[in-house]
Structure 1
Amino acid sequence: MIADGTAEIPKAHAWDPDHLRLAVTAAGVALWAWNVDTDAFTMDERGFELWGLPWRAEVTFEELSAHIHPSDRDRVHSAFAATRAVLGSYETDFRIMIGEEVRWISARGQGEDVGIVGRTMFGIFLDVTGRKQAEEGNELLAGEMSHRVKNLLAIASGLTAITSRTAPNTQDMARELTERLSALGRAHDLVRPLPGGQGDAALLGDLLSVLLAPYDDMGAFKGRIRVAVERMGVGENAATGLGLIIHELATNSMKYGALSAPTGTLDLSSTATDDEVILTWLERGGPEVESPNAGEGFGSKLVRRTVAGQLGGSIAYEWSTGGVIITLTMRRDRLSS
């Protein structure tokens, strides 16, 4: 009993070797000893399990090195050779290969020969695979978010610059720019994980339907826009470009085509080959259509460049008397990326 009345824990009991072993096992710690003269390693059973080796009395440093990831091997050799000169504690993280499995190991100990006994240094190995995978996931997510933001800012900057040169006044510029950016937003909202290993994508039919929904109830009846396309995923990059294309085509139709008439209709359908997806935009019931004589405007340039550059395809216009027919040909691999 100590002065304050609490019971004193016997030192022998607090540091009982069996209890210490239980604590080491519970923490997932592997113990190692390294003879600095012979380079021989001895490890406990947990150490051999961690390295994927059958237990034996000792293992050479070279035998362990054969399991270190080739990209980390030289760094680990240098790190262990330098540990005797390190002041204080050290920690070295590296990868090892267990067949096809990659594990992250953290080697920890005391440098400057602290605690060396009979030319042997002591330390521990920890399996830090989970932590490293989490760190890599966070870095990947941060990089992806940075990439997406930069892409969107570049698109917004380009749209602003070109729209400012073509819009007759600030009101039209603000309206056109807002509509185009809204189309981008609607497309990105649909990008989500799909089942069956299809990746992060929007379904083509969903994407087209959402992009065209604002135009569907602007006439005499609802349902005048019909979408019938194959079920396939559209990747995030393609969704951005396709969103801009559909917005430009719908805007032109509202100004000059079938969607400018109360009873006009728009049908989108698709046919496909192994390598291509062909989207047909068919307008009917609008004013009489004539082939444009003026030079190519920004919207037309945007559509043509996006189809060719981003989707690896082409666009063709047929100015029929019944209404314009637009054929978008897109590479399947580009559409899904």
Structure 2
Amino acid sequence: MAQDTDPTGDGWTLASFTAAIHRGGVGLWAWSPERRLAQLDGLCRAFWDTTEPVVGIDALFAKVNAEDRPGMMRDWAASATDPQAYSFDFRIGDGADARWISARGVGGEAGRVGEWVQAIFLDITDRKRAEDAERLLTAELAHRVSNMFTVARALTAIVAREATSTPHFAEDLSQRFGVLHEATALATRSNRADRGDVRLRDLAERILAPYLNGANIAVDIPDAAVAPPDKVNDYAMIVHELATNSAKYGALAGGGTLRLVGRVADRALTLDWTEGGAPSGMPKADGTGFGSRLLKQTIERSLAGRFDRTIDAAGLRFRMVVPTR
């Protein structure tokens, strides 16, 4: 039998107990439905970015992410009278730095002490970000698999147009698929196993190699333009996505022209991807699909850069500018 289990003494002070739950990301709060006020402990004040221990409910609502606010307000109001246990999630703030909070407690009289409804706020930011990353990874995987089938079809069509015999067709297609495999491996390389800067010209030429005989391709990127070890995957994904789209809709679908030009100046890297018009009868990418969203996230968030793209009857013009180290 355990001894000395009576919850008394220095180890069971309110301060030590509160510190323990704070370390678990749990903040204590209470609110008065009648006076529309909230009491916040120290951790909750940090959640809401306020120094005041008592604040108006409406002032807190104003800090909730606009997408989450209507549902959060309904759930919050219901907790004043509904005697059931509740749990609802919302974001404080906007953008990538928004904090995810889960409000949990028991509503109605069971959760009241006098006029105050007591409950907890739990910081679930890390879990939500992990869930978002998993969803993105799953969607990206599905997108990549779909793209690989599209690229395979495009390469098969390119080889078929120029094959002079069945053996020649098989050998050429096998070689191109081999290079495609190498390019894909580069695009997903392990930073731990393969360190060091990679010249962007080498990376682009490797990814574009399977299409060299089917389109007029020129790559002009100086040696100074490099991808650091932790950004190689990002640059490879960008070039691979542009090449895949081109194989679907543009120059790499056969007979077109592609120019990839880079330059480094004023602590910035600029890459210009320019294609001639899509083959007659080919549809054009509208720039709104998952691949476009992936490009936006990679360039703007991971590389802290910007890009613009124009798609019209003349072809495609894509420019990205990212800061260098």
Interval containing the TM-score (normalised by the shorter chain): 0.5 to 0.7
Q: TM-score if structure 1 supplies the norm length?
A: 0.57
Query: Of 64, 68, 83, which residue of structure 1 is paired with 2:64?
Result: 68
Asked whether 1:189 is paired with 2:175, we answer: no
Asked whether 1:142 is paired with 2:138, we answer: yes
**1:45-86: per-residue Cα shift (whole Å, max 9, x none)?**
222122111124x21110111111222211210111223465
The equivalences for 1:25-104 within 5 A come to 25-56=22-53, 58-84=54-80, 88-97=84-93, 101-104=97-100
Displacement after TM superposition at 1:111 (Å): 3.0
Cα distance change of structure 1 residues 28 and 335 upon mapping to structure 2, 3 Å threshold = closer
Displacement after TM superposition at 1:335 (Å): 11
Q: Work out whether residues 76 and 92 of structure 1, in 8 Å CA contact, stay in contact via their aligned partners in 2.
A: yes
Displacement after TM superposition at 1:8 (Å): 4.4
Asked whether 1:179 is paired with 2:175, we answer: yes
| SS of equivalent residue, structure 2 residue 110 | coil
CA distance in 2, matches of 1:303, 1:334: 25
Query: Of 222, 233, 244, which residue of structure 2 is paired with 1:230?
Result: 222
| SS of equivalent residue, structure 2 residue 50 | coil
CA distance in 1, matches of 2:164, 2:38: 79
Asked whether 1:333 is paired with 2:310, we answer: no
Cα distance change of structure 1 residues 211 and 93 upon mapping to structure 2, 3 Å threshold = closer
| SS of equivalent residue, structure 2 residue 112 | coil
Asked whether 1:307 is paired with 2:304, we answer: no
Displacement after TM superposition at 1:150 (Å): 1.2
**Unmatched tracts of structure 1, length 5 or more:** 195-199, 213-226, 246-299, 316-329
| SS of equivalent residue, structure 1 residue 114 | helix
CA distance in 2, matches of 1:128, 1:210: 40
In structure 1, give the amino acid aligned to 2:46: E
**Unmatched tracts of structure 2, length 5 or more:** 192-196, 210-218, 227-234, 260-271, 278-315
Query: Of 190, 199, 203, which residue of structure 1 is paired with 2:200?
Result: 203
Corresponding residue for residue 266 of structure 2: none
The equivalences for 1:230-249 within 5 A come to 230-231=222-223, 232=225, 235-239=236-240
Q: Work out whether residues 154 and 253 of structure 2, in 8 Å CA contact, stay in contact via their aligned partners in 1.
A: no
State which structure, 1 or 2, has the greater radius of gyration over its C-alpha atoms: 1
Corresponding residue for residue 262 of structure 1: none
Instruction: Give % identity.
Output: 29
Asked whether 1:22 is paired with 2:19, we answer: yes
Q: TM-score if structure 2 supplies the norm length?
A: 0.59
Displacement after TM superposition at 1:124 (Å): 1.0
In structure 2, give the amino acid aligned to 1:204: R
| SS of equivalent residue, structure 2 residue 111 | coil
Cα distance change of structure 1 residues 47 and 170 upon mapping to structure 2, 3 Å threshold = same
Cα distance change of structure 1 residues 63 and 114 upon mapping to structure 2, 3 Å threshold = same
In structure 1, give the amino acid aligned to 2:99: R
Displacement after TM superposition at 1:208 (Å): 3.5
Query: Of 151, 168, 193, which residue of structure 2 is paired with 1:155?
Result: 151
Q: Work out whether residues 243 and 252 of structure 2, in 8 Å CA contact, stay in contact via their aligned partners in 1.
A: no
Displacement after TM superposition at 1:36 (Å): 2.4
CA distance in 2, matches of 1:6, 1:301: 74
